[in-house]
Amino acid sequence: MATEAHADAATEGSGLVFHPMDQFIIKPLFPAHMEVESVDAERSVGILSDGREVALSHDQVAQVASGGHVEVNLFEAGLQQISWFTPTNATAWLAVTVLAVVALLVLSTSKRAIVPSRMQSIAEMAYGFVYKMVEDVAGKDGVKYFPYIMTLFMFIVCANFLGLLPMSFTTTSHIAVTAVMAMAVFLTVTLLGFYKHGFGFLNIFWIAQAPLVLRPILALIEVISYFVRPVSHSIRLAGNMMAGHAVIKVFAAFAAIAAIAPFSIVAITAIYALEMLVSFIQAYVFAILTCVYLKDALHPHH
């Protein structure tokens, strides 16, 4: 909060104040509000009914002092904490994403027709696309795990594209979301590897074709790279989604300046189109890496 106040003060005279990262803040879906009971005009502080103090603007202080009513958002004032059970903008859009996946894959195909509707066609193309990817990368014995990879792919695609809607929230821009999916993949393929091959799964780290003197060094590198997988798997998706949305907001702020507004609008349009492509590509990359990791679990020999 202090950093934002400093930034506002530094740019007060420029007429251009924007915070590109504000769109990624987790907020309660139903923030609590409380009325200011009294004010300390000298410190520009309001006193709430429970005795807590909150900073007010000069106009708000004057309004309360003249007998008016001022309500403050406790979350924005830093007086409301988010608990694990608090409904937030992130959980709301996660729920919307799940509903979108169900609508696309279940409702659109519930009344299958020989001549498919548009939604049925999209669902069938997505199904065929992911199935072919799993079969080509993980092999025939990896097809039995197709539902899991299909679920991941469709969830990420829908979350990414929903995040492009105005006033929406991009859940996949948060490492807390992508890390859970990446760790789920990591633990799944690791447990599957040990279940299928026992300690023979450790052969994934031993490169038998390399010269004997190099094998221990290469094994250490393989172990490190293996445990780095969930980190790179999650950061790649979250970082790409966050970067694109931040750039769009930066150009949107410059659109307020008349002299460069046309250039800014063109740039926003181009970046938005690029983000639509990135939204699909990042879901594809996440899914195909999952297929690669699955192949290593099913066939750990180099």
Q: What's the pLDDT tens digit per position in 10-50?
A: 444 445 567 878 888 899 999 988 888 888 888 888 888 88
Residues 156, 105 share a domain: yes
CB-CB contact of 161 with 276 (8 Å): yes
Residues 94, 74 share a domain: no
Listed in sequence order, the DSSP H helices in the chain are 2-10, 58-65, 89-102, 118-138, 146-162, 175-197, 215-254, 261-298
Domain boundary among 41, 66, 87: 87
The pTM of the full predicted model, rounded to 2 decimals, is 0.85
Structural domain count of the chain: 2
Euclidean distance between CA atoms 229 and 156, whole angstroms: 18
How many residues are listed for the chain in this entry? 302
State which residues form the domain around 80.
31-87
Residues 192, 152 share a domain: yes
Distances (CA, A) of 74 to 6, 79, 83: 21, 5, 14
Examine residue 37 and state whether it is found in any structural domain, yes or no.
Answer: yes
Among 142, 143, 159, which residue's Cα sits nearest to residue 193?
142
Residues 182, 51 share a domain: no
Residues 107, 78 share a domain: no
Among 132, 136, 163, 131, which residue's Cα sits nearest to residue 148?
131
pLDDT tens track of the chain, all 302 residues? 333 444 444 444 445 567 878 888 899 999 988 888 888 888 888 888 888 888 888 888 888 888 888 889 889 888 888 888 889 999 999 999 999 999 999 888 877 777 778 888 999 999 999 999 999 999 999 999 999 999 999 999 999 999 999 889 999 999 999 999 999 999 999 999 999 999 989 888 888 888 888 889 999 999 999 999 999 999 999 999 999 999 998 888 888 788 888 898 999 999 999 999 999 999 999 999 999 999 999 988 75
Euclidean distance between CA atoms 145 and 28, whole angstroms: 36
Residues 276, 151 share a domain: yes
Examine residue 3 and state whether it is found in any structural domain, yes or no.
Answer: no
CB-CB contact of 1 with 78 (8 Å): yes
Residues 105, 53 share a domain: no
Examine residue 247 and state whether it is found in any structural domain, yes or no.
Answer: yes
Residues 285, 224 share a domain: yes
Residue 33, strand partner residues: 73
Euclidean distance between CA atoms 216 and 204, whole angstroms: 13
Residues 80, 115 share a domain: no
Examine residue 13 and state whether it is found in any structural domain, yes or no.
Answer: no
Euclidean distance between CA atoms 28 and 87, whole angstroms: 6
Residues 82, 96 share a domain: no
Angle at 49 between CA 43 and CA 54, to 5 degrees: 30
Examine residue 38 and state whether it is found in any structural domain, yes or no.
Answer: yes
Residues 95, 82 share a domain: no
Domain boundary among 51, 67, 87: 87
CB burial string 190-205: b at 16+ within 10 A, e below? bebbeeebeeebeebb
Euclidean distance between CA atoms 217 and 219, whole angstroms: 5
